[in-house]
Structure 1
Amino acid sequence: MHDYKKHPWTMVYAYFIYILGGFGVTAGAHRLWTHRTYKANTKLKVILLLFYSMSGMYSVVDWVRDHRVHHKYSDTNADPHNINRGLLFAHVGWLCMKKHPDVIEKGRQMNMSDVTDDPLIRFHTKYYQWFHLFFCFVFPAIIPPLLWGEPWMVSILANSFVKYVALLNAVWTVNSLAHYYGNKPYDRNLRPTQNLLVAFLTKGEGHHNFHHAFPWDYRASEFLYIFHITTIGINLFNKLGWAYDLKTVSPEVLQKTVERYGDGTHELNQYKELPSNGF
C-alpha cells in the first residue's frame, strides 16, 4: 500500500529545488552575469552555475545576450519578448516563434566578451545540455526515493516536470505580467511595472519599474520583503565574502528620479526602505 504521508516532504523538496533553480537565474544569470550588479568569487560562481542548471533553461551566454538586448531595446522590435506584440507573446510565444530580424541583428552586435571570456562560463556552455539534463531532471528526482522512499513516478512528476514548468512560467511572468500590470513609481515612461505577484513568484524580480530605471542595483528593488530570497541570498554571500562590490543606486539619484519621472505612486508604499547593505 502506498504511503501518502511521504508526499508533503516531496512537495517541500520540490519547492526547495524550485527556489535553488530560480536563484541560479535571478542571482546568477540576471544580476551577476547580465548586469554585473556585484562580483562573485569562484566558489559562488560554481554554485550559481549549478543552481542555474536546475532551471533547465538555455545556456548562460544566450540568456545574458537576450536579456541585455531586452534592456537596451526594451519594448521595440529588437526586444526578444516585446510586450507590444501581446501578453502571450511576451510570456512564452517569443520562444515558439522565429526571432524578429531586429532581435538577431542587435544580438550579434551585443558585447558579450565579459561572459564568453570567463573559463567557467565557457566550460558550462560547452556541456550545458548535460548539466541541465542531470541537475534539472535527474538529480532532483532521485533524492526522494532514496532518502524517504517516495515512489519513483511521483518523484519524477513532482521534481522533474511540475517543478520545471512552474519555474519556467514564474520567470516568464517578468517578461509578461511585469510589463503589463502594476504601477510605475520610478519612471512612468517605461512599460515595466511594479508587480508584487511576480516578485513573489520569482523571489524578488517583480519590482520591474525600479529594475529598468536602475538596472545596476543588485537588489532590483528599493525595499526588502521576506520573499526577496535573491537579495537576501546575495547579502548572506556578501557576509561570507563570496559576493562583493554590491552596487546600489544612491538615495539622491533615486529621489530625483522619482520626483522627475515617477507616476506619483511612490509615496503610497508603506514598507521600510532597504538600507544600502541590505540589512
Structure 2
Amino acid sequence: MDLSHKMFSEIPSVIRHHGNAGNINWLMTTYSAWAHVVALVGVFKIMDCSKETLMWAFLLWPISGLGITVGAHRLWSHRSYSASFPVRVFLMLCNSIANQGSILHWARDHRVHHKHSETDADPHNAMRGFFFAHIGWLFLKKNPEVIRAGKELDFSDLHEDPVVMFQRMLDPWFALYMCFVFPAQIAVKFWGENFWPAFFVAGGLRYVYVLHCTFLVNSAAHLHGDHPYDVLSYPSENPYVSFFAIGEGWHNWHHKYPFDYATSEFGISSQYNPSKLFIDVLAAVGLVWGRKRGTAACEMGMVRRDRDREAGVPLPKPAPRPWKAHAAVKHD
C-alpha cells in the first residue's frame, strides 16, 4: 500500500499481468509517457529560460490548479456553490490549462469516486495500492463496476451548462493547446522568450508537476494522515497534500461533508486552503453565491458523540487499515 521499494519492484510484474489480460489502456499510457518525456526535456531546458518564463511557469501552478480545485471539483463535481457565467468561463480556461480531461469527464469520475470510495466501483480505488490510486488507474481500462456505477448517476446538470459542453465539444484539442502551446505563446509575445524552452518548461514540466500534485489527493490523502471527523473513512487530513494541491488535502472532512465549498473545517488562517480564499474573494464582489458549509452538521455530530460517550456508548473503532495489518503480521 505504501510508497515503498516493494511497490516499485512489483510494477513490471503488474504490467505483464495486465498486458496479458488485455487490460491496458494503450492510448492513455502512450500519451502519459509522451507527457512525462516532454516534462523531462523541460527539466534540462530550465537553464535556457528567462526569469520571466520561470515565474510564469510557477504562476501557472495555482492558475491551472484553480481550474481543478475551484472549478471541476468544488463547483462542477459537488455544486458546493454557484458561480456567474464569467467566473465559469474563467475556471473552464484554467481547467483547460490543467488538461486533466474535460470537466464533464472529471466530474463524472469524481462523483462515482465519492459514492463508491475504496470499492471496485471507485475509479482510483486506493485499496489497490499507492501507485494505482496515484496514476496507475489511468493506464488500465475501467473496471466494469466503475462503468456500471457511472450509468446510475445523474449528470444532467453538467450537460445543461453551456460552458462545460463548449469545452467538451473542443476536447481534447483545446485543452492540449491551452496546456502546452498557449503558455509558450504568452512568453514569446510579452517578453520575447524562445518558443521551445517555454513550451517544455511552462507547458510540459509545469503540466506534469500539477498533474502529480492533483494525483496526491487520490493516493497520499487516502493512505496517510489523521481521521478526526470520520474514523471509519480512509480519506485523511494531510497538510502536505494541501500545500501541493492548493487546499485539497483536508480529505477526511471533505469525504464526510462533500457538499462543503471549503473542503475543510477552518479558514485560511488555520488550514492552508487558497482555493477557499479565492472563492471567498469572488463571493465578496458578488460573482459567486450560495456557498455551502458542513460546520452545522459537524457540530450536530459532536453533540451526538458527546451524548453517546456520557451514556457509555463506545466510539466506533476502525478495523486496521489493510496495509497496516499486513505490516503488523509481517513484523510478528
TM-score, length-scaled by structure 1: 0.88
Tell me the CA shift for residue 135 of structure 1: 1.2
- Residue by residue, what CA displacement relative to the aligned partner does 1:84-105 show, whole Å, maximum 9, x if unpaired? 0011000000000111110010
Alignment of 1:134-145 (within 5 A): 134-145=177-188
Q: Is the 8 A contact 2:268 2:276 kept in 1?
A: no
Q: Which residue of 2 aligns with 1:33?
A: 76
C-alpha separation between the residues in 2 aligned to 1:191 and 1:6? 42
| Counterparts of residues 69-218 of structure 1 (less than 5 Å) | 69-218=112-261
Partner of 1:255: 299
- Which one has the bigger helix percentage? 2
Q: Partners in 2 of 1:123 and 1:200 — Cα distance?
A: 31
Deviations 1:188-213 (A, max 9, x none): 10000001111000110000000001
Give 1:128 deviation, angstroms: 2.4
Give me the whole-angstrom Cα distance separating, in 2, the residues matched to 1:135 and 1:18.
14
Counterpart amino acid of 2:117?
Answer: S
Asked if 1:240 corresponds to 2:285, the answer is yes
Equivalent residues of 2:227, 2:237 under 8 A apart: yes
What is the root-mean-square deviation in Å for CA atoms of aligned residues? Answer: 1.8
Partners of 1:181 and 1:193 within 8 A in 2: yes
Q: Which whole-Å CA distance do the structure 2 matches of 1:239 and 1:141 have between them? A: 33
Closer, same or farther: CA 88–5 of 1 in aligned 2, 3 Å: closer
* Secondary structure in 1 matching 2:172: helix
Residue identity in the other structure for 2:86? K
Secondary structure, counterpart of 2:50 in structure 1 = helix
Distance across 1 between alignment mates of 2:117 and 2:281: 32
Deviations 1:26-63 (A, max 9, x none): 11110001101000111111111111100111111111
**1:145-194 residue CA offsets vs partner (Å, 9 max, x unmatched):** 32223232321111110011001101110000000110001001000000
1:222-243 Cα offsets, whole Å, 9 max, x none, are 1223642211111111112111
What secondary structure does 2:173 align onto? helix
Separation in 1, partners of 2:90, 2:133: 29
Secondary structure at 1:163's aligned position in 2?
helix
Deviation at 1:121, TM superposition (A): 1.5
Residues in 2 aligned to 1:6 and 1:124: alpha-carbon distance in whole angstroms:
31
Gap change, CA 1:110 and 1:161, over 3 Å in 2 = same
Q: CA deviation at 1:16?
A: 1.0
Q: CA deviation at 1:137?
A: 1.0
Q: What's the counterpart of residue 266 of structure 1?
A: none
Question: Runs of 4+ in structure 1 displaced over 6 angstroms?
Answer: none
Aligned equivalents of 2:179, 2:110: Cα separation in 1: 22
Query: Which of residues 65, 72, 75 is equivalent to 1:22?
Result: 65
1:229 to 255, 259, 274: 274
Residues 265 and 295 of structure 2 are in contact (CA less than 8 Å); yes or no, is this contact kept in structure 1? no
CA distance 1:189–1:136, shift in 2 (3 Å): same
Deviation at 1:5, TM superposition (A): 9.6
Contact 1:187 1:257 in 2 (8 A): no
Q: 1:125 to 1:256 in 2, by over 3 A?
A: same
User: Whole-Å Cα distance in 1 between the matches of residues 301 and 255 of structure 2?
Assistant: 12
Q: Is 1:62 matched with 2:129?
A: no
Letter in 1 for 2:227: K
Greater gyration radius: 2
Report deviation, 1:78: 0.2
Whether the 8 Å contact between 2:133 and 2:219 is mirrored in structure 1 is yes
Deviation at 1:258, TM superposition (A): 4.9
- Distance in 2 separating the partners of 1:164 and 1:232: 23
Q: Matched residues in 2 for 1:131 and 1:230: separation?
A: 24
Amino acid at match of 1:254: C
1:84-133 CA distance string (max 9 Å, x none) = 00110000000001111100100111110111122222221111223202
Number of residue equivalences: 259
Give the Cα separation in 2 of the matches to 1:73 and 1:5.
46
Mapped to 1, the partners of 2:294 and 2:193 lie a distance apart of 47
